[in-house]
Structure 1
Amino acid sequence: MNTLSYGLLAFLAREPGSGYDVMLKIQPFWQAKHSQIYPLLAQMEENELLTSHWVKQSEKPDKKIYSITESGIRKLKEWMYMPLPDPITRDELSMKTFCMWMTDRDNAIEIVETRKAYFTRRLETFHKMLQNIPEEKRSFGNREFYDYILIQKGIFNATAGQDWCNWVLGMLREQKANDVPVLPVQ
């Protein structure tokens, strides 16, 4: 099983849901597409880690609701004791930053501004999520405590990303302001 499979099990261990419901819940923490999620759910159901039932809906297609089985819970608990691998970083901004010497300053600024806007949106999302966790549930022993610390991790990461963008933009803009036009040689 891959990490996304365990993530899907984790969300379904909290409460049953459709593939779409689980996709929406996992998105703030793990980027996954429908094309990845639905085959994994079907495979886990085939492996008896999940069960499902259909819910009829009026004016909408029927939806399939997944629930974790005891076997799925055991598998998820086993995963919790597996060694944690080093994180994998795949960020196109890093590759573009490596190549910024090949572009003009205005484009470099646009690239970094775009990422800064992304971090701003992430922070807004995480702060909204944080509002849904009552203060009294933000301590060890409450299930919501783990949501709280995970949301805080997202806030710290997005804040660090935003700080880096501001730092780079400051340098790019300062250097642009100090640029002296080069006069042609006569």
Structure 2
Amino acid sequence: MSFGEIEAKPSNVTVQGTGLTSLNMSGFKEIYDSGLPEAELEEKHRFKFCTLPGIVLLKLLAFQERPEIRRDDVKDISKILKHFFDMYANEIYEKHNDLFGDKYINLNWIAARVLGRDMGKIAQLSEDLFIRIKKILTKNTIDIHSSNIAKIMTEFFQNTIEENVKLLEQVKIGYLENR
């Protein structure tokens, strides 16, 4: 899919009219190009939908753009991380069995790593997008005192910043495995 003539520069879409006229669309094209699953309703309506790894990519970008008003994006990412293993268990067992067997890694970390792998597959379609997400993950895993994402995650998980940094580290490890 091309966003056609409304696509102003690689990640902005501009529309004519009053009010909001420019949107930052980073990641949308890459998510679409990575192959969206399709659903069919009543055998006559077909539509494509975004995968959870694609949603997490978009939410990370949105949070980075406006962290002061996008805290709920981090809470949504936390919900996805909490339920990802249960939702993708069959795929994880079939395609990511290399992650099992390490007694120091738990199922939540395995899920985070697989989420990172899937995010990396999407982001590698654009060098700029890949680097941008890598920077976000690095900034939020390098030090517990500077991880704004891990701090917000504590509100959802009711745990420690350190635990969330470790979970984000697994996302980052999986993300970088595609390179």
TM tier relative to shorter chain: under 0.3
TM-score normalised by length of structure 2: 0.27
TM-score normalised by length of structure 1: 0.26
Structure of greater Rg: 1
Which structure has the higher relative contact order (CA within 8 Å, separation 6+)?
A: 2
More helix by share: 1
